[in-house]
Structure 1
Amino acid sequence: MQRLTGFLRDVSREMKKVSWPKRKELTRYTITVITTVAIVAVFFWIVDLGISELLRAVIK
């Protein structure tokens, strides 16, 4: 039990040292991540369509 208490105390101490992002930074980072995910998703969707059409052409 002492080990758990010591661990939680250390975690609390370390969390106070963390430099949390400001609201403006967090918003910018969130928009960047969502935009990147959307672009990658569209890219793979286009690649998937291309491969599907290629396979349809080869099979026929």
Structure 2
Amino acid sequence: MQRILKFFRDVGREMRKVSWPKRKELTSYTVTVLATVVFFAVFFAVVDLGISELIRLILE
């Protein structure tokens, strides 16, 4: 039990040393990640649609 308590105390001590991003940085990073995810989702949806149509044309 002592080892577990020591572990969590150490975790708390290390977390105080972390350099957390400011609100503006965090917002910027979040927007960047969301825009990237949306871009790739649309990109792969278009590629998938194109390949599906190509296969349909070949098989008909």
Interval of TM-score (by shorter of Structure 1 and Structure 2): over 0.9
The runs of 4+ residues in structure 1 deviating greater than 2 Å are none
Distance 2:6 2:24 in 1: 35
Distance 2:27 2:9 in 1: 31
Can you give the 5+ residue segments of structure 1 that lack an aligned partner in the other structure?
none
**Cα RMSD for the two superposed structures:** 0.4
Q: TM-score, normalised by structure 2?
A: 0.97
What residue number does 2:14 align with? 14
Q: TM-score, normalised by structure 1?
A: 0.97
Can you give the 5+ residue segments of structure 2 that lack an aligned partner in the other structure?
none
Q: CA deviation at 1:26?
A: 0.4
Percent identical = 67
